[in-house]
């Protein structure tokens, strides 16, 4: 096993000993650790306080960029859909993980598996239904506005 993944697992173990969930993450670029994180749900009222997201947030603050192209995430457990999306948005290029979704589920941490399954359904049929409501006549459209602003910026 890779040393970076070993580090992520060590972070997860330390976190459990401190009362947290068994998740640690290490973000790496060109063989160097850029940032680390552990699941902080036991110390903060912040549902986004997942190991991977905190590592991403720290790296972006430190480097003053949203672009983490070329980085690799080492996560002690299979990332949840929120962290997976954040890694995609940030440009993280690969993820190595150890514990599977099934293993997490077997110890009572099964929400990620439920959400991944739910994402296979149509938006309005999900456990958390997403319902589209269209703009009413005369309302300004933020998407079109953004496109107009962007065109102006390109001139
Ligand atoms: Zn997550």
* pLDDT at residue 152, as a whole number: 74
Instruction: Say what percent of the chain tops pLDDT 90.
Output: 95
**C-alpha span between 54 and 57 (Å, rounded):** 5
**C-alpha span between 131 and 152 (Å, rounded):** 32
Query: How far is the centre of ligand 1, averaged over its atoms, from the C-alpha of 79 (Å)?
Result: 5
Question: Quick check: is 93 catalytic?
Answer: no
Looking at the DSSP bridge assignments, the partners of residue 24 are 38
Query: How far is the centre of ligand 1, averaged over its atoms, from the C-alpha of 1 (Å)?
Result: 22
Query: How far is the centre of ligand 1, averaged over its atoms, from the C-alpha of 32 (Å)?
Result: 22
Entry pTM: 0.93
Q: Give the residue ranges of the chain where pLDDT is below 50.
A: none
DSSP-based three-state secondary structure for 18: coil
Q: Which candidate in 14, 52, 117, 125 is catalytic?
A: 52
Plot region of 113 (φ>0 → left; ψ -120 to 50 → alpha; else → beta): alpha
5-20 pLDDT, tens digit each: 999 999 999 999 999 9
Alpha helices, H only, the chain: 3-17, 51-63, 81-90, 101-106, 111-118, 142-154
């Amino acid at each position: 096993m890779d040393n970076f993944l070993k580090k992520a697992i060590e972070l997860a173990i330390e976190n459990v000993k401190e009362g947290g969930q068994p998740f640690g993450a290490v973000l790496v670029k060109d063989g160097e650790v850029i940032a680390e994180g552990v699941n902080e749900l036991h110390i903060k009222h912040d549902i986004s306080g997942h190991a991977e997201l905190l590592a991403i947030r720290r790296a972006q603050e430190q480097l003053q960029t949203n672009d983490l192209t070329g980085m690799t995430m080492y996560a002690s457990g299979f990332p949840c859909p929120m962290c997976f999306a954040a890694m995609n948005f940030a440009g993280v290029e690969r993820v190595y993980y150890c514990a599977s979704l099934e293993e997490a589920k077997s110890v009572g941490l099964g929400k990620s598996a439920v959400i991944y399954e739910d994402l296979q359904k149509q938006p309005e049929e999900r456990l958390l239904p997403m319902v589209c409501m269209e703009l009413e006549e005369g309302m300004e459209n933020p998407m079109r506005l953004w496109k107009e602003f962007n065109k102006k910026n390109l001139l």
